A = this chain, B = another copy of it.
């Protein structure tokens, strides 16, 4: 299984990044289990390249995809749609989703 708390091994650019930044509401309310499930499903989707995630107060999840079509398909996935709905109404006090084209991958040190 892909680990979201490791540095993602992505291919040579170009590829796409979805940068999702969020602040949570109080309490879990089923959030953690759904977050794990979303990573599980995302990695079965065509065009998935990797995911990186961290939270301390602010949460940042960066998910990598090979095309905008792959991102659109993931956004429309049924369980993910339901998670987005619950995110909006229950889990997030605020959030922002940015879609970016990775043009360079510099200074890798591993």
Q: Which residue of B lies closest to A9 (CB)?
A: B96
Given A99-B102, A99-B103, check contact A58 B62 (CB 8 Å). no
Q: Which residue of B lies closest to A6 (CB)?
A: B58
Q: Mask for A46-76, Cβ within 8 A of B = 1, else 0?
A: 0000001111111110100000000000000
A64 to B85, CA, bound (A): 28
For window 2-19 of A, CB contacts with B under 8 Å fall at 4-8, 10, 13, 17, 19
A6 to B23, CA, bound (A): 8
Closest CB of chain B to A32's CB: distance in Å?
13
Is the Cβ of B17 less than 8 Å from the Cβ of A98? yes
Q: Give the size of the chain A interface in residues (CB under 8 angstroms).
A: 42
A37 touches B (CB below 8 Å) = no
Contact of A108 among B5, B8, B96, B100 (CB under 8 A): B96
Across the interface, which residues of B come within 8 angstroms of A108, CB to CB?
Answer: 95-97
A83 to B102, CA, bound (A): 24
Across the interface, which residues of B come within 8 angstroms of A52, CB to CB?
Answer: 21, 58, 60
